[in-house]
Each structure stands twice: as structure tokens, then as C-alpha cells.
Structure 1
Amino acid sequence: MHHYSWALLALSAVSPAVVSASPLTHRRPNYVSHQDRLNGVKEAFQRSWNGYYQYAFPNDSLMPISKTYVNDRNGWGASAVDAISTALIMENDVVIKQIVDHIKTINFNRTVAGGEGVSLFETTIRYLGGMVSAYDFLTGPFKGKVDDASVKAILDQAVNLADQLSIAFNTPSGIPNNNLVFNGPNGPVTTNDATNGIATIGTLILEWTRLADLTGNATYAKLVRTGEEYLLNIKNPAVGEPYPGLIGTDVNLSDGTFADSRGGWNGGTDSFYEYLIKMYIYDSTRFGELKDRWIKAIDSSMKYLASHPTTRPELTFLAAYNGAGPGNLSFVSSNLACFDGGNIILGGLTLNKQEYVNFGLSLVEGCRDTYVNTVTGIGPESFQWQDSKLGNVSNNGAAPSNQAAFYQKSGYWISSSAYILRPEVIESYYYAYRATGDTKYQDWAWEAFLNINKTCSAGVGFSAVTNVNAPNGGSFYDSQESFWFAEVLKYSYLIQAGEAPYQVNADHNNQWVFNTEAHPVRVAGKPI
């Protein structure tokens, strides 16, 4: 376990008082910068990077305890590419150069170690998103950090990658197959999957559209828009759209019909809804239809999915569903789903809808409680509760006896106790702070960061842990995924930082929008 002087600051330290502007007054709140906290996050980034660079680079992910690596994302150096936008924001020139030099050498024609499957979704959000963001940064606020030839090479590599991935869209419907296999004699091929999920279909449109806009090659945007259309215009709504704007999960590649009616804001569906409003921010002229669908989804979420635990009815979570009606709700959520508050806040700011901002803030409050009530002060991978209004019916069972006391105190019980370095709670703190200027969200983020540092510091980096409700997090998984660099450290840094053009603002004039991996992309038409 590492201990550093900055990490010993009292968790209860309160930031200077701030007079907050209303998030919908078209004025920016008065934001506060904390240099000591910024230094702390920078130290964690450097420590993580040093371990990765020494023991894992140019492979994908560091195993910080065994001091080795795993190629879990194609073997192209996922942690390096995923870290570049964070390194740029921190102006870490040495790491920036190391990553840029690496990007120029990647062979996107082949995967490392025998041609394991390539996820179109994961490769898009980490690699393509990372490179497009780096190009936007290096031709914008960080111009001059890297020579022009290297900047061009980054965009060229993004094109190379997209060209290799484009085989995914060669299906009867044009909906992409998420799973590809490289290294064959004829180049990349698709697997024989029958379906794809709405998150892995609908979380491509930002990165591929941005690449199309940067290169002038509209094909990239057309490929992803085809799949998106099936999610916007449901062919079999009796199955595929159990609530207005809230849809099923799996779509048949053969004809674009929905294969099920299950969904919500958890993994597999989450970032489809996230990108609806983000694409409207990216270009309100081209993507007004996506904004309208986001509104329908949020209105239905507030009406049908908002739920309050029996023991803590002041808390708000979003239920999952498998069909329409109260009897088909599942009162389960996840650390991953805790991005929902931040996304709804962002949409409320964008659309001048205070009720959305308020609802998003209530979800942020609920997710905070999943953190503060565990032994480590970190939230679990998944959790459940008993709905306060539905009554004692088959889909609304009570807490298991061994967690009854915990549920009585906390308003949820733990269904999966792991923490795998997820960023989503801190992400929502970030949006809550940028919307309101209320420094309590900075304090909450710093508290979470210190608890993660205390619990997850392991070997030469940071590791996922098995049990957030056990002393020291139980045991380590020996795993530091690339999104630790891209998301946890970025949001932990930005919420404590001062003004910058890429910061989210409350004044309806955002110049950048973040992809789901927290890579900032320049909004279409905004000046460099």
C-alpha cells in the first residue's frame, strides 16, 4: 500500500464557499480550482503510467501486482491510447510524446497473440475515440505540443483503424456485428453472431461521425447511422419499445427487429441513451431527432423507472425492466449505471429543462450513498433494493437476511461486491459540479478519489478489488484496465481544475462533448 502526504488530507475538508449561479441562467457558476488535489491526481496518473510503461507497454493493460501485462484489447497498447487525452489535459509532455510515438507504430491490420476477438464497441470508444480526441486537442488547445507530421499521423491511424473495422457493417441489415476476428488470410472477418446490443450499436455514432467530418469521407458517418436508424424507428414496437423511448437490448442482424424487451440504464443499453443527447450537442442541426428520442427516454425513465427504497425513500434509483408494467421491473442497478445522473444533468442544461437537472441531481445523491455506506467508501459493482410503492410481490423481494441490517441503514443491498476501477460516480459528480458550482461535489469526488487510492493502490499501480464492504477491499484482482487512465483520473482531475475550453459549462455554449470513454471531441462547427 502506498501512502503519500497529499492522500492524508482530512476527508472532511470543506472547499471555500461559492455563490452558485442557477444552472439555467445562461451564466457560468464560479468554479474553484484546488491545486493540492490536482497534484494528487497527477501523482496517481504518473505512478500508474510508470508501472504500465515499465512492465506492460506496448501491450494493453498492466497487472500491477505480478508486474506483467495482459492483452485484453487487441494488443495495440490500449492503456497508452486511452491515456492520451488525460495526459494532454495534465500537460504531461513526456507521456504525451511516448504515446504519440507509439500510436504511429501500431499495426491495426493484426491483433497480438493469435487473433483473439476484436470488439467493435470497445475498440471504437478506446482507440478510435482516443485518437480522434488527440487530433482535436493537438489542432486546438494543445497545438504545438506535437509536431505537425505526428498530428497528421494520428488522424491517418484513426482512418486505418476505421477502415479495418468497417467489415463489421457488412450484414444483411447494415447493423454492425460487434465481434470481429483479425489475423486471417483475408484480413478481418465477422463472427456468426445473430444479434447485437443497442449500446454496441448506438455508441459508435459520435466517434465515426467525427472521423467523417475531420476527413471529409462521409462513408464513416453513413455506416453508423444505418444501425442507429433501427434503434430510432423500431420495426416491432410491441417487443422492442415497452415504454416510449425506452427500448429492448438485442437486435437481430438479419432484419433489424428486436429480439427482446429487456433494458434500462445498466450495461448493454446505457450508452445508447447517453449518445442521443451528446450527438445533439455535437451538431444540433443534423441530430435533432436524437434529442427528441432522448427526451422520450428521460420522460419515461422518470415516470416508469424511478424508484425509492423502502428503508430510505428519499433515495432515487432507476429500475431495469423486461417488458412493460410494474410486474416486469427489476430493482437492480450498478456502479456502471451511475453515469445516468450526469447524463440527465447535461441534457437538462442543454435543453433548458430544470426538471431534468433536478432529477439528475437526485440520482447523483442516490449513487453517492452507495459509496459512503461501505467499509471502503467505494460503491459495489451492482446493488438491489425493495421498491417502496410496489408492495410485497414476486419481483419486489426483501433483502437477504444476512444483509437486512445493511439495507435498513443504506437503502440498498450488495449483489456484486467488486470494484473494477469504475469512473461513473465521479463522472456524475463532475456534471453536477459543472452545472451548479456547488463545491460539495468537488469534496465528494475528492473523498471518493482518496478512498480509491487507499483501497486500490497495489504493486506498481492500481488494481480492481473483490469486496468494497470488507476491510482493504477484500483482495486484489491484479487488474488495471485502460479506462482507469481515460476516465477515473480525468474526471477526478477536471472536477478540481479551473476553466478550460474543454470543460463542460452551464451556459449552453459547450465547445466539446465527451465520448463514453471520456475522450473530449470538438463540437462540430466550433472554431479552433
Structure 2
Amino acid sequence: MAYQPSRSPFAPAQQDSFYQNSRNGLRGYGLSNQPIPLSNKVNGYFEKDRTLPLYKDKPYFQPRRTGPRRRWRPFFALLGVCSLVFLLYYNFYLPSWTGSRSNDKGVELWRWAQTLEDEKASSDTSDWAERREKVRDAFIVSWEGYEKNAWGYDQYRPVSNVNQEVTSGGLGWMIVDSLDTLMIMNLTSKVHRARQWISTSLRYDQDRDVNTFETSIRMLGGLLSAHYLSTQFPDLAPLNDDDVGAAGEDLYIEKAADLADRLLGAFESPSGIPWSNVNLNTSAGVPVHFDEGATSISEAGSVQLEFKYLAKLTGEAEYWKIVENVMKLVDYQLPQDGLVRSTIHPDSGSFKGDSISLGSKADSYYEYLIKQYLQTSQQEPIYKEMWDEALKGIRKHLVTFTKNAQLMVIGERPQGLEKELLPRMDHLVCFMPGTIALGATGGRSLSEARKSSDWSQQREEEILMSRELMKTCWAMHKRTATGLASEISYFTLDSEPVMMGDKYPALATNPKQGSKPEALKGISKSLETQNDGSESWREDIEIHRNDRHNLQRPETIESLFYMYRITGDDMYRQWGWEIFKSFVKHTAVVEKKSVSRIPTPTNKEPIFRIKGFTSLGNADAIPPYRRDNMESFWMAETLKYFYLLFSDRDFISLEDHVFNTEAHPFPRFKPSGDLKTGWERKPRQ
């Protein structure tokens, strides 16, 4: 996923005011909005004179008594009321805070967190359904904290509960991005409230600049995924409003189409490459104020899944063609060995700069090559060809090995392919192990894929490569004091870096011929963990002072999810469980309550509860420094992938679905009519 460091959905020029203005911001305000036909486009979509929805309490007024009064009745009535209140307090309210018969997930989760130090991980005795419920509890706590303290806002500070937004109304980043997670976790009442907010308060005619890419993957992707799950999985958080023929059946798709129409203006550049930002009200593309106005390659090449699925749903081929054209323009730059530069300019359609990496600004471009091929049921082989070519280039130019443990690393070439390799990996790059395995098997289990006629030596080696990279990402987590990976890690190499082309020349230059299946086995040494932290592999990983933060990113969990589902190896579940426990131990925001079973000043019992989770300023210290910010992808991706990792393999299966780079599941389909590739690659040498 190609996130900018702060993952703000707003344009850079707007971020200063977004984070620094005063506190008197407005929450998302309601505009009554009934579903409208899809043919109605941007103009006139919202009526300007609509009013706030009306919510009224209905107090009960006791009728006046007209008969004779008896003096003793009030006394006994008061005594009865007091007794009833005490019983209710003692048996229901108080236990909810003390933990016995508790309905407060925050209290339950905090009490469970106190037992983590003594828990012994064992693949033989693991109850994955129970562990999945712990993930669900963490999500509920996160969601309810946002719901209570920041509902309608696009930013949530779980430590201070202070929001500094000054906007004309929330755009629903948190709500829409997390909507399909609510559905997958079967949280019906919470889906109902989120849907109500979307129906009455979500509006896109606001005069603000947003990032085209972020808005596409989070907002458009979230709405499309919610539409799919609500219509095709009726047992997941069922609502009558979603039923076929109901008045609100098309709510999500109507909102998605309106948003997409506004985003199309970003593609109206001289070349067809989208501007990084777009004004939602005017639908005008807005260039960034750095990189000479260039767009990152991930921003240009990672909106295809969303617009193509929308085209399939609506029959509007324009959505398909406009993003398909971007892929053609990128490929017509003839990137060397399939490796693209990190930026491309909307004016000229040409690459800018020399940097080659799989980290920030580039990662999801590669992810969407293989996923476009899978989304269209392998009907667009051009993207499989581009993926294979890029993976070959990665092996040849970017893959190297650390000095001590021979950990496999995907480095960077900041000054171009002919210049020096930088041994650095963003945590973002940890999407690669799972994506490589997905590309090798197409989402099938490894045992089934190996039986198929299209299985090859190349695919076998890709599985081995994905295993080695997964081990490196696991090491990045184990390297820190908290067990949570830093944003960026550097690696110690030999004085002359050992490249894959040096170690395995046939594999790097001609993977179809490759080496024997055993060639890559045991490349890296086992990652033994000791209490004194003296393992030699730790010396291979260096964390710089400015890179120690952890933003609750999902990439490692995403790859563990793919690796478990594809290989069936329970080890990946165990690694995921260890990381989840680290998140609970070190990113939980705990608040203290004092209650008393018998309310007297001398009988107090301190009660603690987890009220949310936050990102870390330093993941390599205990206690860690906390940043007081929860990104929307914590609920939309990280916790979702944990939940799916601990679920049965056929739940939202990889064979039938493809996840966008924000973890929103879409169905695979066969394109037809005008929905097709429509371009051919230029000849290569």
C-alpha cells in the first residue's frame, strides 16, 4: 500500500489547517438524502435546502391523580424504588465495571491483557475461534471509542479525545473505511448506525481537496465492498434496508457513483495521468506543491480495481477506460525490467526522477498488476505479463541478503538501477511476501496449485521467495522492544552486497529455467529468540532514530493472512498471534475507573479498561512513546486481516475474491463488452 507517512486523506496544502486549526470543528451534519437513480450525476445530487434530521425524545407524563391521597403510600413507594435501584446497580451496573458478568469489552480486554505474559503459544492447543473473538473485541473497543468521542470526524485521537478539525462536515473516512469490517465481524447494530450516517450525513459536495488515490481506495473501495457484502452475504450483519427491492438497496452504489464522478476530474490532465489531488465540489484536478507537481506511481496505478468493479456494477464503461488508459501510459514509458520510477507527471505522462523502490510511492502499483489479472478472472493476461516481468526485475536488481543471518531483503535504488543499492525496507514493502504467493497460486491452496497443469519451477521458487521475505518481515517485528516493526528498517550487508543474481544467477535472470526446488530452501538462518537479545540476526537490522514509529500498519499481517491461506502452515497464524498480543500490550489506551460494590467512601476498587488503541512514536522502547492518533486502516485493514487470519480458510475465500490495497474485498468477475484491456504493449528488446 502506497501510503504517505501520515496517511492523511487530505491534500498536502490542506493538512496544515487540518491538524493545526482551532478546536471548534463541526461534526458531520445531516442532510436528508433519499436514494436517487444512478443516472443522476453530480449536478443537483444534493438539494441545498434540506434540513437536519429531527430526533425527538418522547417523555412519558404521568396523569394527575384525582382520588383521595393516603399518607403512607409515598413512603412505601419511595422505599420500593430505592430497593429496586440498589438491586439494579448491584447486579447489573456494578458488575459491568468490575468485570464479572461484564458487557464492557474494554474491561474484559484489559483483564485478558494482564495474562499475556504467562500465555504459552502452542499450535497444538490453539483455539483460533477464541483468538478471533479477541480481535473482534479489540475492534469493538476501537470502534466504540471513535463512536463515542469522534463520531462524524475524520480524525480520532484516542488518548486525549480532542479533535481539532475545522470542516464543513465529516467525509466519513473512519466510518466508510471500516464498514465492511463491521459486516465481516457481524456487528449488525453498528452497521445499522453507520448506514444511517451514510444515508443522512455523508455528502461529497464539500469544497475541499482530497488525495485521489486515498479517496479511491478507502472511500470508493469501502462503499463498493459494503455493497457487495450486503447483497451477496445476507447472513453478515443483515439489515432490511439492504434487501432486494428495499428503498435503500442501492444506497452504497449510489454514493460510490457520485464519488467516482467527482474523482474523474483528476484524470482530466494533458496526458491522462491523474493529478494527485482533486477538489470534490468542482471535480477539478489539483497538482501537489512538491516533486514539480508529479503524481506518485502508486497514486496513478492503484485505482484500477475500484473503478473497474464500479464499471462492472453500473455498466458505465467510462470508469473502466479512464483507469485502463493510465496503465497503458505507464507501460509505454518502457520501464527497464518492469521497474517503474516512483513518480510520473500528469502534464507529460513521463517518469520523473530516478528512484526505484517498492516502498512509499510505488508499492501498490506492483500489487495491482497481479490483482487486476485475478480480478478479471485471468481474462487480462497483459497484467500477468507485466507482473512476471516486474518480479524478474526485482530479483535481478533489488533482492539482496544480510551479512549474518542471510535474511532476504528488497532494497532500493534511489539514483537508478545502475547506481548503488540502498539496504532499506519500508514496512510497506511487507505486502510483497503475500502478494508473491498470491501471484504464484492465484489464491489456490499450495497443495491444489501444485497439482494443476500450469504449475512450474518458476512458481515453486516464488513460493520459496515469499517464505524468505515473510521471515524478514517477522524479524523486523521481533527486532524491536515492543515486538512491533518500525516504519523503516535498514539492513547490514557484506561490503560487496550479495545479490540474488550473484547467489542464484539462473533464478534471477531466467526464472523459468531456474534452479532446483531445494535451491532457495534454508537461505536464511532460523530466527531463534533469546531473552538476552543476543541473537546474531539482530545485528543485521538497524533502526534509525527518525524511523522508530509504528502507525499500526497492516502489511505484515496482510502477508501472514495470504501465507497461511495459501500454504496452510500454522506458523504464520502463530506469528500473527504474537504480533496481535504486542499491539494489545503496547498500543492500548487504558483509562482508570473507581467504583465501589457498596458505594461508601472507604470501599473503593480501582477498575481499568482499554478505551482504544493508538500509534506509537517509538516502538523500540518500553513503555513506548504514544502519538495520540488512530489511523482508519487500523480498523479497516490491520484488525480485519487479523480476524481473517484466525478465520476458516473458505471465509471470504482467495479463490473467489481479490482485496484492494485497503483490504476491501471485491468479487472476481469475467469482463465483457466494452470492459476489456483495449491496448497492447510496445515491443521489448
Q: TM-score, normalised by structure 2?
A: 0.67
Contact 2:341 2:355 in 1 (8 A): yes
Q: Indicate the residue corresponding to 1:523 in structure 2.
A: 668
CA distance in 1, matches of 2:637, 2:351: 32
DSSP-derived class of the 1:380 partner: coil
Contact 1:421 1:464 in 2 (8 A): yes
Deviates more, 1:437-446 or 1:259-268: 259-268
CA distance in 1, matches of 2:160, 2:261: 36
Q: Is 1:502 the counterpart of 2:660 in the alignment?
A: no
Identity %: 30
CA distance in 2, matches of 1:363, 1:408: 14
After superposition, what is the alpha-carbon deviation per residue over 1:352-410, rounded to whole angstroms, capped at 9, x for unaligned?
41211111111000010011121101110001113236259xxxxxxxxxxxx998634
CA distance in 2, matches of 1:278, 1:72: 38
Amino acid aligned to 1:307: T
Amino acid aligned to 2:257: V
DSSP-derived class of the 1:328 partner: coil
Q: Is 1:66 the counterpart of 2:160 in the alignment?
A: yes
Amino acid aligned to 1:514: F
CA distance in 1, matches of 2:166, 2:354: 31
Larger Rg: 2
Q: Which of residues 353, 369, 372 is equivalent to 1:260?
A: 353
Q: Is 1:489 the counterpart of 2:634 in the alignment?
A: no
Q: Is 1:463 the counterpart of 2:614 in the alignment?
A: yes
Deviates more, 1:431-440 or 1:405-414: 405-414
DSSP-derived class of the 1:497 partner: coil
What is the CA distance between 1:188 and its match in structure 2? 3.3
The residue correspondences of 1:109-258 to structure 2 (distance < 5 A) are: 109-111=204-206, 115-142=207-234, 144-147=238-241, 148=243, 149-183=247-281, 187-193=282-288, 194-234=293-333, 237=334, 241=335, 243-258=336-351
Q: Which of residues 6, 16, 19 is equivalent to 2:124?
A: 16
Q: 1:78 to 1:195 in 2, by over 3 A?
A: same
Q: 1:219 to 1:33 in 2, by over 3 A?
A: farther
Q: 1:109 to 1:486 in 2, by over 3 A?
A: closer
After superposition, what is the alpha-carbon deviation per residue over 1:473-509, rounded to whole angstroms, capped at 9, x for unaligned?
2x111101110111110111111111445132xxxxx
Q: 1:75 to 1:406 in 2, by over 3 A?
A: farther
Q: Which runs of 4+ in 1 moved over 6 A?
A: 405-408
Q: Is 1:300 the counterpart of 2:393 in the alignment?
A: yes
Contact 1:81 1:127 in 2 (8 A): yes
Q: Indicate the residue corresponding to 2:538 in structure 1.
A: 409
Structure 1 residues without counterparts, runs of 5 or longer: 18-31, 393-404, 505-509
Q: Is 1:479 the counterpart of 2:629 in the alignment?
A: yes
Q: Which of residues 492, 498, 504 is equivalent to 1:386?
A: 492
What is the CA distance between 1:525 and its match in structure 2? 4.2
What is the CA distance between 1:223 and its match in structure 2? 1.3
Contact 1:117 1:180 in 2 (8 A): yes
Contact 2:311 2:317 in 1 (8 A): yes
What is the CA distance between 1:59 and its match in structure 2? 1.4
Q: 1:4 to 1:218 in 2, by over 3 A?
A: farther
CA distance in 2, matches of 1:311, 1:150: 60
Deviates more, 1:265-274 or 1:495-504: 495-504
CA distance in 2, matches of 1:128, 1:160: 10
RMSD of the alignment, in Å? 2.4
Amino acid aligned to 1:3: W
CA distance in 2, matches of 1:356, 1:182: 42
Q: Indicate the residue corresponding to 1:92 in structure 2.
A: 187
Structure 2 residues without counterparts, runs of 5 or longer: 1-105, 443-453, 499-533, 591-610, 672-685
Q: Indicate the residue corresponding to 2:134 in structure 1.
A: 40
Q: 1:154 to 1:281 in 2, by over 3 A?
A: same
What is the CA distance between 1:159 and its match in structure 2? 0.3
Q: Which of residues 254, 277, 302 is equivalent to 2:370?
A: 277
Q: Which of residues 482, 488, 494 is equivalent to 1:376?
A: 482
Amino acid aligned to 1:41: V
After superposition, what is the alpha-carbon deviation per residue over 1:457-483, rounded to whole angstroms, capped at 9, x for unaligned?
11531111111110022x111101110
Q: Is 1:4 the counterpart of 2:115 in the alignment?
A: no
Q: Indicate the residue corresponding to 2:471 in structure 1.
A: 365
After superposition, what is the alpha-carbon deviation per residue over 1:285-326, rounded to whole angstroms, capped at 9, x for unaligned?
54211111111111111222111111322x111001135446
Q: Indicate the residue corresponding to 1:443 in structure 2.
A: 574
* Aligned positions, number: 482
Q: 1:285 to 1:70 in 2, by over 3 A?
A: farther
Q: Indicate the residue corresponding to 2:439 in structure 1.
A: 347
Q: 1:223 to 1:438 in 2, by over 3 A?
A: same
CA distance in 2, matches of 1:7, 1:302: 44
Contact 1:429 1:442 in 2 (8 A): yes
CA distance in 1, matches of 2:274, 2:384: 23
Q: 1:250 to 1:6 in 2, by over 3 A?
A: same
Amino acid aligned to 2:300: I
Q: Is 1:422 the counterpart of 2:553 in the alignment?
A: yes
Contact 1:88 1:142 in 2 (8 A): no
Contact 2:267 2:285 in 1 (8 A): no
After superposition, what is the alpha-carbon deviation per residue over 1:139-189, rounded to whole angstroms, capped at 9, x for unaligned?
112364442333311100000100111111111111110212345xxx232
Contact 1:97 1:146 in 2 (8 A): no
Contact 2:339 2:393 in 1 (8 A): yes
Deviates more, 1:74-83 or 1:265-274: 74-83
Contact 1:501 1:512 in 2 (8 A): no
Q: Is 1:75 the counterpart of 2:170 in the alignment?
A: yes
Q: 1:72 to 1:11 in 2, by over 3 A?
A: farther
CA distance in 2, matches of 1:100, 1:4: 32
CA distance in 1, matches of 2:232, 2:113: 32
Q: Indicate the residue corresponding to 2:526 in structure 1.
A: none
After superposition, what is the alpha-carbon deviation per residue over 1:226-254, rounded to whole angstroms, capped at 9, x for unaligned?
112112221xx4xxx2x401110111212
Deviates more, 1:326-335 or 1:445-454: 326-335
Deviates more, 1:324-333 or 1:487-496: 324-333
CA distance in 2, matches of 1:303, 1:289: 21
Contact 1:52 1:61 in 2 (8 A): no
Q: 1:182 to 1:128 in 2, by over 3 A?
A: closer
What is the CA distance between 1:14 and its match in structure 2? 1.3
Contact 1:108 1:160 in 2 (8 A): no
Deviates more, 1:198-207 or 1:243-252: 243-252
CA distance in 1, matches of 2:311, 2:368: 17
CA distance in 1, matches of 2:342, 2:285: 20
CA distance in 1, matches of 2:493, 2:304: 35
What is the CA distance between 1:108 and its match in structure 2? 3.6
